[in-house]
Chain A
Amino acid sequence: MNNLAVLPIIIPLVSGIILAFFPKKLNLVRPLSKIFMLINLVIAGYLLWTVFSEGSVILETGGWKAPYGIVLVADKLATLLVFTTNIIAAACALYAPYSLSDRKEQYYFYSFFFFLITGVSGAFLTGDLFNMFVFFEVLLMASYALIVLGGDKVQLRESIKYVFINLFSSMLFVTAVAFIYGALGTVNIAQIAERVQEVDQQGILTTVGILLFFVFAVKAALFPLYYWMPNSYAVPNPVISALFGALLTKVGIYSIIRVFSLIFVHKIEVTHGMFIWIAGLSMIFGIIGAISTNNIKLIIAYNIIPAIGFILMGIGVFNQSSVSGSIYYLVHDMLIKGSLFMLAGTIAYAAGTSDLRKFSGLIHYYPFIGWLLFSSGFILAGIPPFSGFIGKLLLLKGALANKDIAIVIIGLLSSLLILYSIMKIFINGFWGEKDETIKPVSLKGRIAPIVMLLALSVFMGIGAEFIYPFVESISTDLIQPEVYIDAVLKE
């Protein structure tokens, strides 16, 4: 019993409510939002430190014992992701005033921003399946509001599809929860895992597991359910795209990791074997999308799909090395996608358009941004010694140990193509003839958050020796479901 676990949910919620009282006073709202974000970051860091030194923090709300009441479970994986979420949110809070017009900021941007963090942290920390659905809805509600912020024609057009798809998959989620409740009589994740273990995951349970996978795959934008994602992530303001790209699809993949490392692990040849194929197809189709387009925001948005594919591949292979690779890659991808979306927004602002065919020679005006893009392309594709490399190395090592050669080849090839898709921006936009029509604009304040996130992901690569033991201890816990079950149910 420790109230610490609820703080990463409560603090952003209260901050969002406080900021909703005076949306027009931007001089007050901006510094306040940064202070709240800092408090939240410190609390998340403290929670991370507590969990790694003393073990999982479990909060049984209202004093109801674990399987009966609502539990919040801050285990190692969840707190690591909550901490990463808060780092990205802090970078976005720094970037927001420069990226958004005053009018958009006044339309309750910061409130919705904090509600989004509430939902994401809640989805990571919750210990029962129905509350996961509720927190999904909390974050989706905030994202619906953010995606239409400004109300452009194209934003409205894309957001309506986004809302329909997410609503449909949410309703399927409720149906899947109902199935689980009907079959097992509980919605508490630890108890579900225990009961599935007792009956050795019979046919109906595997079916429900695949239904759940379908729901999470829609949220995570996996093949073949990704069609809604690239356009709707490319249309809103860059800071909102950065938040979405870094957090929303990752909540979906986190749920897959949680459910398929804890509950449905007794028929690995059916479920996890399927994941490897879906992961491979996600890589192929995502990267084809990224290469096919000339819109820089769309290129970055399409790059989410192969990254999610890589993470899913680790779950599909499911051994110690590949699961740590997945976790490493997940954190790396959150950092790099956040910075890449902000970078794409900055480039589009500097060039005046996001269409690659309409500008060139940007490096004459903005050399620093050019090199930032160049290095982030390297980080994304996994060139050693950056963070993407460590994650991919672990993943491929795990896959080779399991003799899944096809997925290793697909993974290596798609890494090359990922590098190509980023270099395409560099070659077409930054090299070439100096474009005389471009008027240099001040990019004050936009660079700092991007550099912050990139520096962190470079540190994740160079300081791998420092970070890897933590990731390894997470994956050790993940492949032994008993650790989680015992921590929650205690007996």
Chain B
Amino acid sequence: MEFIILILAGVLFATAIYNLLQKQLLRIIIGTVLLSHGAHLFILTMGKLKRGEPPILADGVSEYTDPLPQALILTSIVISFGITSLLLVLAYRTATENNTDNMEQLRGNDNE
């Protein structure tokens, strides 16, 4: 199971990098979203996908799920969600203000 999810994370990373290398702003944003999903899945697999009881100390519970990766992912998801919404607004404003969504034309030149 862990192996499959690791491959999935790898595929997500690869598509994310492919999208990050595009010139269109929206595609780059999709790339960053995929990248964060890949990273989150990666944390989950790194904490080992143990199946068992919830992590509450009680009699008779020997197998329990590691709560830490889930806490980390939750925090990380909230952060990436916030940044993605900010990025979408920022990209919209940039595109309307500069009249282009092509990164090639958004290059700065010195001394202006």
Contact = CB atoms under 8 A, between A and B. Distances in A.
Nearest to B29: A164
Interface string B55-76: 0000000000000110010011
Given A181-B43, A181-B46, A295-B111, A160 B83 contact: no
Interface residues of B, number: 36
Contact of B86 (A134, A141, A156, A175): A141
A143 B80 CA distance: 16
A451 interface: no
Most buried by B among A137, A163, A171: A171
Contacts of B42: 174-175, 178
B46 to A, nearest CB: 3
A170 B76 CA distance: 10
Given A174-B76, A181-B47, A167 B83 contact: yes
A134 B90 contact: no
Interface in A116-172: 130, 133-134, 137, 141, 144, 148, 151, 153-154, 156-161, 163-164, 167-168, 170-172
Contacts of A157: 94, 98, 106, 108
Contact of A231 (B20, B46, B47, B108): B108
Contact of B35 (A171, A293, A355): A171
A164 B90 CA distance: 11
A350 to B, nearest CB: 19
Contacts of A141: 82-83, 86
A171 B108 contact: no
B62 to A, nearest CB: 18
A187 interface: yes
Interface string A367-382: 0000000000000000
A329 B64 CA distance: 49
B50 interface: no
A303 to B, nearest CB: 16
B86 to A, nearest CB: 6
B104 interface: no
Contact of B72 (A160, A170, A177): A177
Contact of B39 (A137, A144, A174, A355): A174
A170 B87 CA distance: 14
A298 interface: yes
A151 B68 contact: no
Contacts of A179: 46
A171 B36 CA distance: 6
Interface of A: 130, 133-134, 137, 141, 144, 148, 151, 153-154, 156-161, 163-164, 167-168, 170-172, 174-175, 177-179, 181-182, 187, 231, 293-295, 298, 355, 357
13 contacts: A130-B75, A148-B93, A156-B90, A157-B108, A164-B20, A174-B36, A174-B40, A174-B42, A175-B39, A178-B72, A181-B46, A294-B110, A294-B111
